[in-house]
Amino acid sequence: MKCEIAVYGLGVMGSCLARNLLRKGFRVAVYSVAEPERQRFLQWEEAAQAVVCQSEEELLETLETPRKIFLMITAGNPVDQVLGQLLPRLAPGDVVLDGGNSYYQDTQRREEQCRDQGIRYLGVGVSGGERGALYGPSLMVGGSQEGYELCRSFLAAMAAQAEGKPCCAYMGPGGAGHYVKMVHNGIEYGILELLAEAYQWMSQGLGWDAERIRQVFASWENTELSSYLVEISRKVMGKRAEDGSPLVEKILDVAGQKGTGKWTVQEGVERGVYIPTLYEAVSARNVSGQRERRLQGAKRRAAACQEAESRRRAAGQGETAKSRDPRTQGQEEASLRQALYLGMITCFSQGLDLIRKASEEMGWEIPAGELAQVWKNGCIIRCALLNRIQKAAEEEADILFSREFEEIWKQRDSLADFLGTVEQAGLSLPGFAASLHYLDAFSQERMPVSFIQALRDCFGAHTYRRVDRPGTFHTQWEEEE
């Protein structure tokens, strides 16, 4: 019997997805241009049930029609190159799936190119990392709806399950699937930044050791903060280096990024959607790369503080009191926990705002209620909060103003109080601050943009509108000399 599906690309993710499909009982053909990858795949137990092909021609001959080929290769030019090689050999009705982190506009272009030749093209956002790919990822599918229906059975089978439903859904035509995956990664950036800032506050602000911080993360696992990222935060804090010290303290504080976070921020700017927490998360990684400047600034700041302290002593004022909140550890932890929960809500709200705006402008009709279901398991941002988000999304498209999350407006002041304590300690927690700014921006009855409009009209005659009468106006603001 011929194979039902092919996996093209046998890196970490491709190998895991192929093994996942084989475990589910599908007949799978696999191929990689790299011979070492093919040989490594043969070492897996599941490989005995697969057809490991030695060429693209063999791969295509092994498949039943319509052929379904799952590309698990590096995003960008490699996808175009492989697609260019495959298209002349494919027949109308065949399906090509791209499971990499492709830019959604590239997916849009490829889907149109394939459609012109009768080929069904799918952009599949795959989240969950190596373990998710093997045991069940979250799948966000876009492109040809006919292609999705042909592939629905194996996509649903390989996906993670939540409450008896697969974490897999069709998001819309064109690049909708990869767009949702891009924003998923943007939300991931935001939550990672908040968790890192929580660690920084506990470590540098409160002076807690690694074991105490590990215990805090562990205590959050069965609360409203329950999530995959909190779970692995506890694991990270418990890992020790060769000398017995916390491994995290030996890791260089410089982070990179693969593009999806930057793309999310760019989309926010281009579509006019306010996503400050996601923006600060990307910016924090950029600042981390400027380590020499940070170290230089730290020396300057320490010297300035020492000089100021010396002046105070000379003036007979004595040492200044340490800016440390006198509350108990339990109160400090509760304050941080509430701040983190509000921050996580704003990350999801910002991401869903962006998806909703793009869906409206692109005509995708992305099902907001299904997004939470798709993210409930398998993906990196899976968390207990998604149950409430799903309920809120079904009630109100904008979760920020849903009845489900009415309490966030009552808890706004607690976040502000927390940040006040942080600033007194001299720490920069831009993710938490941006989350507060997000809530404040959407609760201002009147913004100072009216002043900007007046200034623009003054120096450039850009005109302005008024609140008390219709039309466009211009004023001669400066007297002629």
Q: Dihedral of CA 270/273/276/279: which sign?
A: negative
User: Before 66, cis peptide (omega within 30)?
Assistant: yes
Is residue 181 annotated as part of the catalytic site, yes or no? yes
CB atoms within 10 A of CB 90: 20
28-31 vs 5-8, strand pairing mode:
parallel
Contact by Cβ (8 Å): 409, 443: yes
Write phi, then psi, for 403 (nearest 5 degrees).
-65, -30
Residue 445 sits at the vertex; the CA angle it makes with 467 and 186, to the nearest 5 degrees, is 115
The catalytic position among 4, 37, 111, 188 is: 188
Is residue 188 annotated as part of the catalytic site, yes or no? yes
What is d(CA 205, CA 377) in angstroms, rounded to the nearest whole number? 34
Token code pair at residue 160: 């993670």
The catalytic position among 37, 68, 111, 181 is: 181
Which are the catalytic amino acids? 181, 188
